[in-house]
Structure 1
Amino acid sequence: MFKGLILIDNDQVDYSLALVDVVNRLAGEEETCVYGLGINLPEKVKGLDAVIQVNAPTIQPKDSRLTTDIIEQVHRKYQFDSIIILATEFGRMVAPRLAMRLEVGLVADITDIQVDKRGKKMIRPAFSGNIMASIVCESTPIMASVHPNVFQTADLTKEPEVIDFIPTDLKASSIEVLEVVESAESTVDIREADVIVSAGGGFTQPIDQLQDLADELTGVVAASKQLVDRKKAPREIQVGQSGKTVSPDLYIALGIYGSTQHIEGLKNVKEIISVNTDLGAPMNYLASLVVHGDAAEFARKLSTKLKG
């Protein structure tokens, strides 16, 4: 029996439950039992074999120190074969703390899993996304972090067993948790969009000029790492391994070369339109339709056509 634990992020419950697929893949042909750990869960969850609930209103859900303590105590009791955590800002604080506490390795930002006679291999980009590395983690439990929306789980109907867990000897954190008030502009998550108009290094105009086209298509604007690094687009709309993983019905790639780092941010995209002056760009080979030409000019003319 391969036992896996996933940490349920209260702000991203659906993406957390998709990590069931990670545990199932790591198990290979072994039978699995997937536990979810929820701290002050805001809703009832399905799709797991069991949910370990920690109900303690005094615990801040984003307190990485106390969360690490709780996961360690849960693991000491149940002895998991793997512990999987979302690679959010919060998850990136918890995962390395926990790995050090348990004295095991941590494979960060995995995008795929392969299990064969040589072991359980976790795949992640390396050298700035230029190659894909296969990493065999020989320590137990296997620990990994995963970008939201990289893996998907179709069946989330199973009613889990509910286990109430009371942690002991928790010390109040000295870190003050501040309330973050987001502006209206930052409330749109590109991961939820059905249509994405995305600009890359080959898009020569200000990215805000794409908003009209995105509005006409009832979509959102996104960008590649290259534009974000140049300070021409906010990191919240970055697609890629170091940004967000998206799964739209339509992805319009404007001047995007298509590095491994960017391609890893595209999962289960139904249709891709690639507009580029470079016909040899890797993105073109993934596209359903390739337009050879200037991306900014294409976006402007398509927006005008749609308005007409």
Structure 2
Amino acid sequence: MFKALILVDNDFINYSIDLTDAAQRLAGEEELQLYGLGINLENQQIKGFDTLICVEEPAIQAKDSRVITDIVQQVHQKYDFDSIFILATDFGRMVAPRLAMRLKAGLVADITAIEVDQQSRKLIRPAFSGNMLASIICDTKPIMASVHPNVFQAEEVTKQPEIVNFSVGQMKPSTIEVLTVTENEKQQDIREAEVLVSAGAGFNEDLDQLTDLAHKLKGTVSASKPVVEQNRAPREIQVGQSGKTVSPSLYLALGIYGSMQHIEGLKNVKDLISVNIDQGAPLNYLANIIVVGDAVEFVAKLKHRLNC
């Protein structure tokens, strides 16, 4: 029996459920017992687990990583899991290393694939700024991993879990105090978009020029890592291993070279159009359609053709 725990992120419940796919892959041919841990879920209906461990403590600050780490540690001490998966969100990145230190376990961050054979279990992640992939053999437990949202995708999640209420023991009081709250303008998450118009270093104009085109295609604008590093786009719209993993129906890549770091951010893209002056750009080898030419000129002509 292989016992896996997934920490449910209240802000990304569907992506948390997707981690059941990662747990299934890691279990290999062993029988899998899937546990979810939810904290202050407020009666939200969650499927896909064999057992859902619920902690209802109104005094717990939802984003207090130290208190959440205490809770996960207590749950692990009771159930003795073989693996623990945590979403690599901003919050998950605070919890995962703290928990690994508590449990004296290794942590493989930002995994993109899992390989299991009769000899070993391997977690795969990009290394050296995404220029190569590292296969890390895990032979101690618990095997801990953090995973970007949308990297793994669970199918047909219908299983109704057994609900187990868990009472936490003595915990240090939260030291987090909310001083102010600022509401940001709501923008479509690029992970949810069916169409992405994505700019790379080869698109050297203002990204605002892509807004009308994206709207015309009923999509949104995204960008590659170099564009974000040039302060031409916010990190929230970055595609890639250090950004977000996306699965659009159409991905229009404008001047994107296609490093491994960027390609790791593309999962199950149905149609990929690559526009680049470099015919040998790596992304071209993944594209359904290749346009060899200047991305800025291509955008101008396409907008004219679409009357936008």
Q: Deviations over 1:255-297 (max 9, x none)?
A: 0000000000000110000000000001001000000000011
Does the residue aligned with 2:247 lie in a helix, a strand or coil?
coil
Q: 1:180: how far off?
A: 4.4
Separation in 2, partners of 1:278, 1:76:
55
Aligned to 1:102: 103
Separation in 2, partners of 1:52, 1:214:
42
Aligned to 2:226: 226
Separation in 1, partners of 2:121, 2:178:
38
| 2:303 paired with 1:303 | yes
Contact 2:61 2:174 in 1 (8 A): no
Q: 1:179: how far off?
A: 5.8
Q: Deviations over 1:59-114 (max 9, x none)?
A: 11111011000000000000100000000000000000000000010000000000
**Structure 2 matches for 1:47-196, cutoff 5 A?**
47-177=48-178, 180-184=181-185, 186-196=186-196
Q: Deviations over 1:97-135 (max 9, x none)?
A: 000000010000000000013311011000000000000
Separation in 2, partners of 1:245, 1:70:
29
Does the residue aligned with 1:305 lie in a helix, a strand or coil?
helix
Separation in 1, partners of 2:303, 2:127:
37
CA RMSD of aligned residues (A): 1.1
How many residues are paired up? 307
Contact 2:253 2:273 in 1 (8 A): yes
CA change 1:256–1:178 in 2 (3 A) is farther
Separation in 1, partners of 2:45, 2:231:
40
Separation in 1, partners of 2:102, 2:22:
22
Aligned to 2:258: 258
**Structure 2 matches for 1:24-39, cutoff 5 A?**
24-39=24-39
Does the residue aligned with 1:267 lie in a helix, a strand or coil?
coil
Does the residue aligned with 2:202 lie in a helix, a strand or coil?
coil
Q: 1:301: how far off?
A: 1.1
Does the residue aligned with 1:187 lie in a helix, a strand or coil?
coil
CA change 1:124–1:84 in 2 (3 A) is same
CA change 1:180–1:14 in 2 (3 A) is farther
CA change 1:231–1:144 in 2 (3 A) is same
Aligned residue identity for 1:40: N
| 2:227 paired with 1:214 | no
Aligned residue identity for 1:93: M
Aligned to 1:5: 5
5+ residue gaps in structure 1? none
TM-score (norm 2): 0.98
Identity of aligned residues (%): 64
Separation in 2, partners of 1:178, 1:16:
29
Aligned to 2:293: 293
Separation in 2, partners of 1:76, 1:53:
16
